Amino acid sequence: MIEFIIHSLIITGGLGLVFGLGLALFSQKFKVEEDPRLELIQNLLPGANCGACGYPGCRQLAEAILRGELVPEKCTVGGNKVVAEIGNLLGIEVSQVKPGIACIICQGDEARASRRAEYYGINTCNAASQISGGFKQCFYGCLGLADCVKVCPFDALRMSLDNLPLVDESKCTACGLCVKACPRKIIDIFPRDNPVIISCVSPQKGPEVRKACQVGCIKCGICVKNCPQGAIHLEPSLGNLAVIDYTLCNNCGVCVEKCPTKCIVNYTTVHVHAG
């Protein structure tokens, strides 16, 4: 009986050794050599693994760039320095990444926007927006439950005392994750060299806007009449909401000064804070 067990162990061990050696030889013979540039590209990327590029991490983005499926410019977090370094490594031409920043296109905080109901549900903007369009009088403005703050991997967003998101200019990478997280679509990426924005998205008529918010666009057209560059128009498809043409805007600030509800702002002084 003991001899049988010993023989069985010897045979089993021998087979295991043979199969193990066979697998080792097979893996060596048929292994796919990894392109050494892959690791170099990954090391150049910021390593934030934020997913803003559409891939779950920087490794997957590096693989896509190496395969030619994506251009290095897709990594907005890395900026021009990273893009240029990857371009030099691969020997390809790259374009400049225009620096951007996330902007909150709403000033309707607790102090300036009216409520029409109290909300006691799940404490997220996404959940609240699905209950009769949210608890605020304005069906388009910020709900102030910080979905954007929760998804920011760079700690570039925080909530004000009146529950409106504030952007830290020194930390924002324009990755766009907050844009995707906002169910109201009131966050967007703007070029840093064009700081004037229409801080309202409501298509409602002027009287309705006034009832809901003190700082909404009332479609009065004063900004259109006073813009020296002719860079602003009232867009019919958006309920005559004021829209800026950034190819014409020179940031003169006249519209900011003339707007009667102060819904046109310089985001570097209103929404963007350095601490």
Contact (Cβ atoms closer than 8 angstroms) between residue 77 and residue 173: yes
Q: Is 138 assigned to a binding site?
A: yes
Residue 259 counted as an annotated binding residue: no
**Is 220 assigned to a binding site?**
no
Whole-angstrom distance between the N-terminal and C-terminal Cα of the chain? 78
Question: Could you tell me whether strands 157-159 and 100-104 are parallel, antiparallel, or unpaired per DSSP bridges?
Answer: unpaired
Residue 53 assigned ligand-binding role: yes
- Reduced to 3 states (helix: H, G, I; strand: E, B; else coil), residue 242 is strand
**Cα–Cα distance for residue pair 219/198, rounded to 1 Å:** 11
Spatial separation of the C-alpha atoms in residues 163 and 148, rounded to whole Å: 12
Our CA angle for 213, 215, 220, nearest 5°, is 100
Q: Is 255 annotated as a binding residue?
A: no
| 178 labelled binding-site residue | yes
- Residue 58 annotated in ligand binding: yes
- 78 CB contacts (<8 Å, ≥6 apart)? 44, 45, 46, 72
Q: Which residue has the tokens 């014409």?
A: 248
223 is in an annotated binding site: no
Q: Is 249 annotated as a binding residue?
A: no
CB 208 within 8 A of CB 136: no
User: What residue numbers does the annotated binding site for [4Fe-4S] cluster cover?
Assistant: 50, 53, 58, 75, 138, 142, 148, 152, 172, 175, 178, 182
Binding site, residues? 50, 53, 58, 75, 138, 142, 148, 152, 172, 175, 178, 182
